[in-house]
Structures are given as structure tokens and as C-alpha cells.
Structure 1
């Protein structure tokens, strides 16, 4: 080895540029954007469906005319919705009907004075509007829960 020979240190190459990314990162970005688009579409579709179901319920009650007819309309709508989960739900009467309505509800909402109005409220000549409004709130929530899939 020649002592007069000057050796220089090895210079590392510069680090690779972060832009443009490798093709794999483009694929990851495309998959993430596609997932975000699908998720956004599903959320909007669900909100739209929920709004249509709520409008169906509200329109049926708006055209009822009187409190007993509104209770009858609520009962009819709930029975239609219940058939999606229990094929013979429209044949249930009394406590069995209220028990089906209260299934998966904590605390039970239909085994209350307002909820029990569904049993005979359509046949009463006069109803307290506060009770009908309380029934409307719980019936609307149950109708939407049954009609809008998760």
C-alpha cells in the first residue's frame, strides 16, 4: 500500500425523493379514497332513507284529522313495520302486541300509559293531546328503527 495515496471517504448517495410516491402508495391512496367514497355514499343513502321513512310517518299522521284517527294511523304503521321482523306481528293483540313493540327497548316505552293508548285510543271519542303527542314520539322512533336497516 502506497502511503502517499490519499484515500477519500465514500460519499453516500442522496436520499430518495418523497415525491412522486411509489406505485404501491398510489394504490393505497386509491383504495382509501374508494373506501371513503363508498362510506359517504352509504351514510347519505341511509340519511335519505331515514328522512323518507320519517316523512311517511309524519304525512300519515298529518292526514289523520283527529286524535283517534292519528292513533289508528300509528297503530297501522307500526304493524306494517313489525311485519318486516315478525311475519305474524299484525295479528298480535293486547299485551303481546305491546311486548313486541317493547322488545329490545330499555326501558320499555309502550307498556306505559301513553304506549297503552295504542290498544284502545282509536276507539275513544276524546283523547288528551299530550298523551297522543307522547305516543307519537315513541311510535315514530320505533317505526323508524324498524324501517331503516342498520
Structure 2
């Protein structure tokens, strides 16, 4: 008979109804949300840096595309002249602080060698770029010269900021 007596005793006790806890607030956030926010910010920062790098290297891609167009030329003399112009424009863009616009002949070849992997302009196939554009006819190993120019153009540094005209 104890269960009946305990039920009667429980009814006499001053008990209140069950209160539910308040619903959780959205603030402060759980630690997992902070981790997710930091991760998203890092991903956005990485994407921004990659986009900036792609913008800085865009001129290099454009110059290499122009080099591919020059490779289709028939005349060796025209090829040498156009390669000389392409290398000079690229040097002016990549090295604006150096006075490479006024260089010619041996000084121009030495400038190209300073920014190349090996001295192939002053002592190798690239020597034809010094006087070749100014001679009436020129013959050269096209593939070797194009490979040398491609290697030099690939080594150009990324630009620090966009140099857009207009």
C-alpha cells in the first residue's frame, strides 16, 4: 500500500509544473560555426590571390600567343625582325625601371642574357637579333631561335600592377 500513500503525499506537496529551458539563441555561435567562417574567409583570400596572380601573368600568356603566331611566318628575315620587336615590347613591360628601350646591338643582347637562364643571346643562336632585323636577308635555325625566345618570355617576372593605357 505504499504506492497509494506516496501518490497522495505527492499531491499534497507544493510542486510546480515542468518548465522547459529557453530555446537556444543563435548568438553566441557554436565553435564549429567560427571554424567554418574562418575557413570560408581563407578560401576567399586564396581565390583573390590566385585571381591577382592570373591578372599579373596575363601579359605573359598574351606574349606567348603572339610568339606562336610569329612561328607561322614564312620569311626568316621577317621572323627575326618581329621577334626583336616582341622581345623589346615584353622587356619594356616587364622591366620598366631599366632603360632597355635605348639598348641596341651588343648591349641589347647582354640585357637579354641578364634575364635568361644561360647566355644564349650573346654567344648562341640569339646573336642574330642584334643585326638580323637590319640586314636585307637573314637565315637562322627557326626552331632553336623560337625555343630560346619562348624560354626567355616564360622567365619574365609578373607585373606588380596593371599597366593599362587609356
Report the TM-score, using the length of structure 1 for normalisation.
0.67
Give 1:24 deviation, angstroms. 2.0
Counterpart for residue 83 of structure 1:
92
- Equivalent residues in 2 for 1:1-150 (5 A)? 21-42=31-52, 45=55, 49-62=59-72, 64-84=73-93, 85=95, 86=97, 88-122=99-133, 123=135, 125-128=137-140, 131-146=141-156, 148-149=158-159
Residues 1:47 and 1:80: Cα distance change in structure 2 (over 3 Å): closer
* Alignment deviations for residues 38-94 of structure 1 (CA, whole Å, 9 cap, x no partner): 2443455566554322112222443x4301110010011111122232564232122
Q: More deviation in 66-75 or 93-102? A: 93-102
Report the TM-score, using the length of structure 2 for normalisation.
0.61
In the alignment, structure 2 segments of 5+ residues that lack a partner are 1-29, 161-166
In the alignment, structure 1 segments of 5+ residues that lack a partner are 1-19
Q: CA RMSD in A?
A: 2.8
Give 1:141 deviation, angstroms. 2.6
Residues 1:82 and 1:111: Cα distance change in structure 2 (over 3 Å): same
Residues 1:39 and 1:133: Cα distance change in structure 2 (over 3 Å): same
Alignment length, in residue pairs? 128
Secondary structure (helix, strand or coil) at the match of 2:126 reads coil
Residues 1:103 and 1:47: Cα distance change in structure 2 (over 3 Å): closer
Q: Distance in 1 between matches of 2:53 and 2:85?
A: 29
